Amino acid sequence: MFRPESDEDVQFRGTVADWLDQNIPASLRHVTFWPLPHDCMPWYKMLSEKGWIAPHWPMRYGGMNASPVRQVILMEEMARAGAPDIPSQGLNHIGPILIKCGTESQRMRHLPLIRSGDAVWCQGYSEPGAGSDLASLRTKAVVEDGDLVIGGHKIWTTWGHHADWMFALVRTTACIPRQQGITFVLIDMKTPGISCRPIRTIAGDHEFSEVFLDDVRVPLENMVGEIDRGWAVATALLGEERLRIGSPAIALKALERLRRMVRAMPANSRHDELLADAEIEIETLIASYLSVAESLDQGDIVDSSYLKILATETVQKILDHLQEVAGEAGPIRHAVQTEFGLLDYSEMFLQSRRLTIYGGSNEVQRTIVATKAVGLPTARVRNER
């Protein structure tokens, strides 16, 4: 760590490190897959009771209102101590959006349950044929007797088969441009007409699912914003999502895995060079994240697309290094307990392939950077017969 810290931040880091060392359950330390929600929610609740579950939320809603520096300190110490990943759609996505765009009734109903861990959320954005091109979504909703009646099909829904609630985009009016006529809605996953089917990924886990909605009735009071005007809410949430994906949290976990692998291998200067390269990449990412987060705290308008690119590709680069260090052992699919701790040869490497796709693929993010940040003209494709 090459960044100077104030005396107060140093003290905070020590407090966090000591508490994590004493409180993370042994069964959840340095696990390679995301634990299932019912397995990790006791840990989630411990963080909530400590007051550290939502460092980026305002204090009046149960957060820490932590500075970006302290948020990074938490990420660094969580990675070092081997804290497990926890369901974050509520904390990082819908929670901040309800704070910004929701009604007071929606905030009072949902934020305490997110903070306490009594409600797990999932995101109903992507559909077959509507991923990064989200505006082409086809899940429809019609107003009937004070409800939205929804029919359609969502896919790549993280923890959809374990979630209590979904925030979703539905088409309420066929419009040109397509970004109009979309409504943002909160859906209780226990509502009749909802079914889920888990999706097995290349890493062998079942983090994603398909969600089918068949005449699902949702009260109009569950809309965030106005009917047909959900695109602004959706894009605000995507900006928040890209900022959180663009944080160093996942890269720090990857770095910890690389460090363990280097320690476990015979002494080799090339391994030390790879580790040094990874540490420099991490510091670059942290500096970029702090710059964006501090600008947002000051009320500046900042596009986080480049940060999403940097963070996800940093994770993949570090895990490429890990594969190189592992050598012939690289294809081992399951983590192995050794005298150096739990060694993850390929699980996180395989999981990381998805990072550059979700939240808007990195190809799309580069187009956003090119057109909005750099000011290049939008490419126009002409169909020729």
User: Which runs of E-coded beta strand occur in the chain?
Assistant: 121-124, 140-144, 147-154, 165-171, 182-188, 194-199, 208-219, 336-338, 341-343
122 Rama sector, left if φ>0, alpha if ψ -120 to 50, beta otherwise: beta
Q: State yes or no: is 240 an active-site residue.
A: no
Catalytic pick among 76, 127, 210, 241: 241
Neighbours of 134 (CB within 10 A): 20
Q: Rounded to an integer, what is the distance from CA 108 to the centroid of its chain?
A: 23
Cα dist from 264 to 10, 250, 337, 349, whole Å: 30, 22, 11, 18
Q: Within 10 Å of residue 362's Cβ, how many Cβ atoms?
A: 18
* Identity at 28, one-letter amino acid code: L
Q: Please, is 199 exposed, middle or buried when counting C-beta atoms within 10 Å of its C-beta (0-12, 13-18, 19+)?
A: middle
Distance of CA 4 to the CA centre of its chain: 28
Please report, to the nearest 10 degrees, the dihedral formed by the alpha carbons of residues 81, 84, 87, 88 taken in order.
Answer: 30
Q: What CA dihedral angle connects 300, 301, 305 and 306, to 10 degrees?
A: -50
Q: Give the list of residues 6+ apart from residue 257 with CB closer than 8 angstroms, or none.
A: 319, 322, 343, 344, 348
Beta-strand pair 336-338/341-343: antiparallel
151 touches 139 (CB < 8 A): yes
Q: Mind telling me the catalytic residues?
A: 241
